[in-house]
Amino acid sequence: MRVVVDLTQCESNALCMGIAPEVFFLDDDDELHLLMEHPGEELRDKVVQAVRTCPKQAISIEED
């Protein structure tokens, strides 16, 4: 799986970071950073929840 974030849509709400801090990080300047573009399957449930929770639908998953 590959995590994709559309930074033009992201409002830096940090909901994704709260769900999957292993994958997403919001810095002090309120900029979202993707820590893992290809997280392991053990994180799939968290990433899927982050995708569903994002209020701007700025996160998506592409299957490798």
CA–CA separation, 62 and 46 (whole Å)? 15
Give me the sign of the Cα torsion angle 50, 51, 52, 54: positive
**What does the longest C-alpha to C-alpha distance in the chain come to?**
32
Task: Write the pLDDT tens digit of every residue in 18-28.
Answer: 999 999 999 99
CA–CA separation, 63 and 21 (whole Å)? 21
CA–CA separation, 64 and 55 (whole Å)? 25
Task: Write the pLDDT tens digit of every residue in 27-53.
Answer: 999 999 999 999 999 999 999 999 999
What dotted CATH number matches 2-62? 3.30.70.20
pTM of this prediction exceeds 0.75: yes
N-term to C-term CA, the chain:
5
